[in-house]
Amino acid sequence: MRTAKIVNRSTQYLFLLIGLLLFIGPLLWLISTMLKTQDQTYVFPPKLFPHPFTLSAFSRLFETMTLMPRWILNSFIVSGINGIGTVLSSSLIAFGFARTKSRMRPALFVIVMATLMIPSQVTLIPMYIMFSKIGWYDTWLPLTVPVLLASPYFIFLFRQYFLTLPRELDEATYVDGGGYWTIYRKVIFPLSGPILITGFIFSFVFTWTDYFTPLIFIQSEKLQMMSVGLQLIMGKNSQDLPMMAAGSFLALLPIAVIYFTAQKYFVEGVVMSGIK
């Protein structure tokens, strides 16, 4: 019995190790490439640990792509706005679906969820025409305003979490003379930290990694995002592999920092939202 338990545990650790290598392997190769010289990237067989290693790829990156700091700042601003806007707008609508009483609530929720099945490519041309007509083309507004109007995915995510909170809290607020707004602002919102942080992380990452939207709606290089900037690096310096790896690392770094910093809340929010 003990032998079978040891074999089972060893098999689990073996599969976990294989999965870890599959996921961390590309990251290790990325870090190795950005620390190499251009000549070292063409050595065969390739070496994982460069000797000597150098950070010259970063200096070449900022010298060649002078707008790189601007792209990074633009991505932080737009991603931060979308993250905060998603938390505020989607949580408010999700509160209505989770805690209010209305005959139309189930039907309206089905309609909201049905919009998830509409591909973004279907609405691209109408949105492009509309934003061009009202003068929003080549601005950040097409990147932020649709997100600030709430997202069906985050409405569903927040609603599932709100359903796990006891309704006795609502009744106690009613007894104290509070209404729906008081319940949302002083009860539900403060108790929903994990899922709100999770929603912020998701929205931030979606915006940070979004390539298609800024490519379509932004023409000026000064207003571009980091995701499109990486493609510009590849187009102008396709032979400089260390420099492209350095740019990719800079794009990956904020996401990694945010995830590992808020990992506890991220896992708790995802788990609790699926309990109900």
Render the burial of 222-257: b for 16+ CB within 10 Å, e for the rest: ebbbbbbbbebbeeebeebbbbbbbbbbbbeebeee
Q: What is the mean pLDDT of residues 39-65?
A: 77
Question: Which pLDDT tens digit goes with each residue over 226-274?
Answer: 888 888 777 666 677 778 888 888 888 888 888 777 776 655 555 554 4
Q: What local confidence, expressed as pLDDT, does residue 81 receive? A: 92
- Looking at residue 271, its pLDDT comes to 54
Q: Which fold has domain 66-273?
A: MetI-like fold (1.10.3720)
Give the lowest-confidence range in 29-43, 68-82, 135-149.
29-43
Token digits for 206?
């979606």
CA distance 275 to 31: 39
Please give the Cα distance from 59 to 57 (Å, whole number).
6
Residue 184 in contact with residue 174, Cβ under 8 Å?
Answer: no
Query: Is the confidence at residue 166, as pLDDT, over 90?
Result: no
CB atoms within 10 A of CB 272: 17
Q: How far is CA 256 from CA 20, 47, 191, 193, 263, in A?
A: 16, 25, 26, 20, 10
pLDDT tens readout for residues 100-132: 887 888 888 888 888 888 887 788 888 888 988
Rounded average pLDDT over 69-98:
90
Question: In this predicted model, what pLDDT tens digit does every residue of 176-235 receive, in sequence order?
Answer: 777 778 888 888 888 888 888 888 888 898 899 888 888 888 888 888 888 888 887 776
The confidence band for 276, taking pLDDT boundaries of 50, 70 and 90, is very low
Render pLDDT for 151-164 as a digit per residue (tens, 0 to 9): 888 888 888 888 88
Output the pLDDT for position 76. 92
Residues 25-48 have a mean pLDDT of 76
User: What's the Cα-to-Cα distance from 251 to each of 17, 25, 37, 153, 228, rounded to whole Å?
Assistant: 26, 18, 20, 25, 11
The answer to whether the pTM exceeds 0.85 is no
What proportion of the chain, given as a percentage, has pLDDT over 90? 4
Alpha carbons 215 and 121: distance in angstroms, whole number: 14
What pLDDT, on the 0 to 100 scale, is given for residue 272? 53
Supply the DSSP symbol for 61. Answer: H
Query: What mean pLDDT is reported for the chain?
Result: 82
